[in-house]
Structure 1
């Protein structure tokens, strides 16, 4: 996936990870009974270990747990011999062994929320850096998020998978909502109408391309189409503005293709600001402003920067 490291607009501060991934209410009754747990990882069980590499004390489970609990005597604890014995499992596990017949997903938050990591049947492994000593629940046979899009080169996707990097999660966002909440973070909203319209088509085309082509995975294995950072396009929910949204609405029917395929529409502040600039494949944001001020239409602006494209409705 292409990197775009130099941006035009000063970025909005992201919400802190702690606030976004804050604790949730304790579950009234965990699905996995504490009865029968003996601190031995046996066939049919999912086991959490205090240390990496399936070392230290073990806590064995036969079902899902929505909240491990944080205090004795009510928490799920490490029962096996070794380091960590008697400690509550919550925010203290480092590795797992899945001896059950189902995929098991370990979550950062209680109630099956936040960052997660999947372990297939028979898998042994360490928890990722985001989950090591930061685990609050697990679920047997979790629902999966489809990585496929309903979009084609002729029709835009109805939604896009956005990796919220600072929040360590993936959101499925309505595609038009995504474009409206990217444009004001990539173009100056006070710029001329035709510049904003050119930007709207470029932002939409870039996101559309990656919805069709991305095979990216988060560090914990979840699929996504684009990051919400300058690595792709800066997406900030709730940032849509009247001028930029009007530009998106006015150009929504426009499809930008090259050879019949949606264009991966790269853009940067100027032709010299971004490494990897290739004339004919990149658009200058400031250039779009200057051309719009000179009376160019958004179609003329786009065709002047992107070689060999077709604009169609």
Structure 2
């Protein structure tokens, strides 16, 4: 029986190693944290709201919708930037849509207030209706 126990232990060890390898593979193929937004790096497939005009200053980058910017802040990936730590709510001067689809912005939380949309690839300064008034954003028309 001693030999049988060793064979059994080797099989369990082999199964455990295979399971560990599968988990490791899953971790390698999972999207990076920076690809999920809200990290201060505006990447492909994200929508960015900037603290200053001309896409300058810290960025609030979104990969998915945000129904209420209250409590959200501008981020910096490294170094310094104007607006770091400032509230994103009613504090956006420009934007850049690096996503492949249109994004909608609203002047109030929950897709209320004035509505505007930004097609894929668009970047620019917020007009008087939206400058420092945006409070929610969606990668679809929320109405």
Q: Are the equivalent residues in 1 in contact too, given 2:37–2:61 (CA < 8 A)? A: no
Deviation at 1:37, TM superposition (A): 2.4
Query: Where does residue 76 of structure 1 map in the other structure?
Result: 72
Please tell me the root mean square deviation across aligned C-alpha atoms, in Å. Answer: 1.5
Distance 1:40 1:114 in 2: 28
Query: Where does residue 109 of structure 1 map in the other structure?
Result: 108
Distance 2:109 2:127 in 1: 17
Deviation at 1:76, TM superposition (A): 1.4
Matches within 5 A, 1:288-307: none
Matches within 5 A, 1:214-293: none
Q: CA 1:113–1:86 in 2, change beyond 3 Å: closer, same or farther? A: same
Distance 2:112 2:62 in 1: 19
Distance 1:36 1:135 in 2: 18
Query: Where does residue 39 of structure 1 map in the other structure?
Result: 40
Q: Secondary structure at 1:39's aligned position in 2?
A: coil
Larger radius of gyration: 1
Q: Are the equivalent residues in 2 in contact too, given 1:49–1:95 (CA < 8 A)? A: yes
Matches within 5 A, 1:174-185: none
Length, aligned pairs only:
105
Deviation at 1:143, TM superposition (A): 5.4
Q: Are the equivalent residues in 2 in contact too, given 1:117–1:128 (CA < 8 A)? A: no
- How does the TM-score come out when normalised to structure 1? 0.32
Q: Secondary structure at 1:56's aligned position in 2?
A: strand
Indicate whether 1:129 and 2:125 are aligned: no
Distance 1:143 1:89 in 2: 20
Deviation at 1:102, TM superposition (A): 1.6
Q: CA 1:100–1:39 in 2, change beyond 3 Å: closer, same or farther? A: same
Query: Where does residue 141 of structure 1 map in the other structure?
Result: 140
Q: Are the equivalent residues in 2 in contact too, given 1:96–1:124 (CA < 8 A)? A: yes
Q: Secondary structure at 1:111's aligned position in 2?
A: helix
Q: CA 1:101–1:135 in 2, change beyond 3 Å: closer, same or farther? A: same
Deviations 1:60-100 (A, max 9, x none): 1101111011xxxxx11100241101111001000000011
- How does the TM-score come out when normalised to structure 2? 0.69
Deviations 1:167-222 (A, max 9, x none): xxxxxxxxxxxxxxxxxxxxxxxxxxxxxxxxxxxxxxxxxxxxxxxxxxxxxxxx
Moved over 3 A (4+): none
The structure carrying a bigger helix percent of its residues is 2
